[in-house]
Amino acid sequence: MIYRETALEGAMILEPQLFNDERGYFMETFRSDDFKSHCADVDFVQDNQSSSVKGILRGLHYQVNKPQGKLVRVISGEVFDVAVDLRRSSKTFGQWVGVYLSAENKRQFWIPEGFAHGFLVTSDRAEFVYKCTNYYSPTDERGVAWNCPEVDIDWPLDDIIAPVLSAKDSCSCRLSQAEVFK
């Protein structure tokens, strides 16, 4: 696995090594000791999977009292995946980084605790899977608006008229109104 740092401290892009032959390919998608030495000394407690069609935008989600680190990847299709630093003490507070994740490039994205997370489906359909460091806690869930001008994410909306949001995501707050981390 190749671990690449991003502009946000702690957020990492992981690129697996592929072993190809006439039968197909093999890759290692996760190895705890390797991950702990390159990314974070965490344990994953929950795996999730979602399926979405083109134009669906999920996020920007985070949990306040029971924060979740997430190791995300796409097993079918493509998404533009985004992390926003919500750690007030961080020099990159309020900044974002985005990466295309796809079944083709097989990249993974590590989003540590203290970050908001979201993604936009850019292919006809996408299957998105992720590991979490904490259990889902509905009472701790918060959101920052996907189009918050204070964060100013450059979503790739070229051929998408308007992203499709859940009711919850359509009423998320601005960064300046959000409950953030120390």
CA–CA distance, 132 with 174 (Å, rounded to integer): 25
Query: Does residue 38 carry a catalytic annotation?
Result: no
Dmax over Cα atoms in the chain, in whole Å?
A: 54
* Active-site annotation holder among 25, 38, 61, 100: 61
Predicted local confidence at residue 107, as pLDDT: 98
CA 180 to each of CA 145, 156, 173: distance values in angstroms, whole numbers, following the listed order: 14, 26, 12
21 Cβ partners below 8 Å, 6+ apart? none
Predicted local confidence at residue 176, as pLDDT: 96
Domain boundaries, the chain: 2-177
CA–CA distance, 75 with 138 (Å, rounded to integer): 26
Is the predicted pLDDT of residue 110 greater than 90, yes or no? yes
* Active-site annotation holder among 38, 130, 135, 136: 130
Class of domain 2-177: mainly beta
The candidate with the shortest Cα–Cα distance to 133, out of 58, 52, 59, 36, is 36
Query: Does residue 100 carry a catalytic annotation?
Result: no
Q: Give the SS3 label for residue 153.
A: coil
Predicted local confidence at residue 81, as pLDDT: 98
pLDDT-derived band at 136, boundaries 50, 70, 90: very high
In degrees and rounded to multiples of 5, residue 75 shows phi and psi of: -105, -10
